[in-house]
Amino acid sequence: MNKKKTSLMVAAMLAVSAITFSGCSAGTAADNSASVSESAQGSQKANADVKLSDARNTPAVRAAKMVGPAVVGITNKAVVRDWFNNPVETQGVGSGVIFREDGYIVTNNHVVSGAKEIIVSLSDGRSLKGKLIGADELTDLAVVKVDGKDLPTAKFGDSDQIVVGEPAIAIGNPMGLEFRGSVTSGVVSAVNRTLDISDKLVKLIQTDAAINPGNSGGALVNADGEVIGINSAKLAASGVEGMGFAIPTNTVQNIIDEIMNKGYVARPYLGVSVFDPQTAGRYGYQLNIDKGVYIFQLTLNGPCGKAGLQRGDIILKVNDEEVNSVSDLRAKVAAHKVGDTVKVTFDRNGASRNVDVVLEEMPQDNH
């Protein structure tokens, strides 16, 4: 892929040259919310009462009826600085999915990041103030709460059971609230698709259902009307069409549980910052190693520091599995839990050594 031809559709915290998060649709979203007229809402209600033949009652129709009411619009009002350092209010719109009838909503982290104020637009036309419960930058997920009861909710399916080729329906608010509740359909193009985003390996569902700016945080639904993913990103490059990505619901539910319990996601860490030749080159360094990752910074009272590792050591293996890149090391550590003990094989001055390291919880300012 020619990265020079890659066009970012919308700014996002974790965007890379070939990947754009479907993001917030910027502009006058709050003003445009008024353009969703009462007649449009009445039309939606009328459509719900239409008698359909079996041929017309497609998976997309059923998914829209079952999940559509639980998909909301999220307006993020933030303050940025202009060229003269004056505060300027900006806003963008994304999507979210109600998963508890008392007002808990899952969305993308980049939809609510930096928000001064969050406004949630329900499918029945109401707008409620939202409160950020917690967010996780690594998985790009966040939980927002509104004051409400008996709200429509979506049912989460088992994303481990989805198969390539089955129907996939995306529901969200592409380009802003004036297009709220838009439904697009396609198929599951791939499962467990691994993308390397800022040296962080993220496993996603790939779909050709259209995902556009504003769809972020919306639902990817199967033919049974179950949410199987939270829409998050798409490839936006010249000549590339129909490559969208969603966070699997099994991952979503685990992250939701941690955010609801702690307000954040607890992750294990080694307490080291490492380079491989590629990442070193990005910072203008030349790293001449054939294998492993080089420790260029170490927290003395962190897990590796306590186990005796030093700056300049080269980590070769974790639990006897080779580690040759930053993303390799992160993936190996992420596969464990806080408190687990891992065997780290490292090179110091040409001699290979082994040491047991007890993984600790990553400090929040390191996320």
CA 261 to chain centre: 19
Q: What sign does the CA torsion over 139, 145, 150, 152 have?
A: negative
**How many Å is the Cα radius of gyration of the chain?**
22
Q: How far is it, in rounded angstroms, from Cα 231 to Cα 220?
A: 6
Phi, psi of 304 (to 5 degrees): -70, -35
110 is catalytic: yes
Task: Find all residues with CB under 8 Å of 121, minimum gap 6, and list them.
Answer: 33, 72, 73, 74, 75, 127, 177, 180
Task: Find all residues with CB under 8 Å of 309, minimum gap 6, and list them.
Answer: 272, 295, 298, 315, 344, 346, 355, 357
Alpha helices by DSSP H, listed for 288-362, are 303-307, 326-334
Q: What sign does the CA torsion over 160, 164, 169, 175 have?
A: positive
The H or E element that residue 239 is part of is none
Select from 195, 199, 365 the least CA-distant residue to 282. 199
Token readout for 90 is 């900006």
Phi, psi of 276 (to 5 degrees): -110, 170
Of 136, 140, 313, 328, catalytic: 140
Of 25, 113, 185, 216, catalytic: 216
43 is catalytic: no
Alpha helices by DSSP H, listed for 71-160, are 109-112
DSSP state of 155: P
Of 110, 159, 182, 185, catalytic: 110
33 is catalytic: no
Distances (CA, A) of 156 to 252, 308, 338: 9, 45, 27
Residues designated catalytic: 110, 140, 216
